Amino acid sequence: MAGLPQFFCLDCPDRLRSLANTLRWTVPIAEISAPGEAAALFDKALPVLPLSLPETVEPGILNVANAAKVLSSIEMAVDFVIKGDASAVVTNPIHKSVLYEAGFRHPGHTEFLAELAGAAHRSVMMLACDQLRVVPITVHVSLRRATEILTRDLILETARITHAGLKQDFGIPQPRLAFAGLNPHAGEDGSMGDEELKIIGPAMEELRSEGIECIGPLSADTMFHEEARAQYDVALCMYHDQALIPIKTLDFHGGTNITIGLPFIRTSPDHGTALGLAGSGNANPTSFFNALKQAASMAAQRNGK
């Protein structure tokens, strides 16, 4: 695990050993009883804080019987970080459909983590790679619903959290925020839609009055090429795919998912569960490795190191 920051897993050690044996990988597993034991073992083995699973896991096969344990592992990880026993939470992708069967009521990880943090905290999902950072202002809703819930207040809240997160966790003293338009050509002065004039533009003016540097609204089809990206630190997009298509095109295997606005650090790979690759040894680990490194970088930034 050379080159990776120290970490420990919340998992079933027997599951990990069985998977390593199947793949003929030499992966020493060291069971720990508390997070503080991980550092001394990390150079020699993978530290694992054991979780007992109700049923045996078959790679690539969803099992609702284990869903509650998936959710409790996230709760445990957050609790460790809030107590100061760990510096950050790095989550693996979750398969929401099987969690819904077990009673999970959130659209995704981000919203669940916000609830665990407490009602005073609103979370924002940021996707990042070396070339680009993006924030979708509306997230896991239909495109029709996105246009209904896109408001000036939602834009303001998301932008303020994003601005603060870039300063706190990325060390950018004066973040530059670029805003995508909702409509083709950013509305073309109202001829292709007036959300830019009535909602997005006024929100940007208020942000500028607060000292936040804003660019746009920009036409989404021209704001993601290399020269355009050099003009801003993050792109705030009006709906999910407007944000995720460009970053996954630029770096599908290396992007990371970052939750900002919470009192703890959380990162994740920027991809789904890939059930067809599970247990094959052929999945690309780059995004997971980058999520670990991003979490460590953010923790160091918060700690002033």
pLDDT digits (tens, 9 = 90+) for 124-174: 999 999 999 999 999 989 999 999 999 999 999 999 999 999 999 999 999
User: Mind spelling out the 3-state secondary structure of 189-237?
Assistant: CCECECHHHHHHHHHHHHHHHCCCEEEEEECCCCCCCHHHHCCCCEEEE
24 assigned to some structural domain: no
251 found inside a domain: yes
Classify 37 as helix, strand or coil.
Answer: helix
Find tokens 């998977």 and name the residue. Answer: 19
Instruction: Give the pLDDT of residue 95.
Output: 84
Please indicate, yes or no, if residue 58 is contained in any of the structural domains: no
Residue partners of 11: CB distance under 8 A and separation at least 6: 48, 49, 50, 51, 73
- Total domains present in the chain: 1
Question: Within a domain: residue 286?
Answer: yes
Task: Determine which of 19-23, 243-247, 270-274, 290-294 has the lowest per-residue pLDDT on average.
Answer: 270-274
Comparison of pLDDT for 108 and 69, the residue scoring more: 69
Any domain includes 38: no
In the structure, what pLDDT confidence band is assigned to residue 305 with cuts at 50, 70 and 90?
Answer: low
Q: Quote the strand ranges of the chain, DSSP E.
A: 9-11, 29-31, 46-50, 89-90, 124-128, 133-136, 176-180, 213-218, 234-237, 256-260, 266-269
Q: Could you tell me the pTM of the whole model?
A: 0.90
Residue 216 lies in a domain: yes
Task: Evaluate whether residue 40 is within a structural domain.
Answer: no
Residue 29 within any structural domain of the chain: no
Mean residue pLDDT of the chain comes to: 93
pLDDT in tens, 80-104: 999 999 999 999 988 888 888 888 8
pLDDT confidence band for 1 (50 / 70 / 90) = low
Look at 110 and 195; give whichever has higher pLDDT. Answer: 195
What's the CATH number where 188 sits? Answer: 3.40.718.10
Percent of residues, the chain, with pLDDT higher than 70: 98
Tokens of residue 41, six digits: 């073992």
Mean pLDDT of 105-110: 79
Tens of pLDDT along 161-210? 999 999 999 999 999 999 999 999 998 899 999 999 999 999 999 999 99
Domain that holds residue 103: 63-302
- Cα 154 from chain centre: 19
d(CA 202, CA 205): 5
Q: What is the pLDDT of residues 241-276, one digit of tens each?
A: 999 999 999 999 999 999 999 999 999 998 888 888
Q: What pLDDT does 2 receive?
A: 58
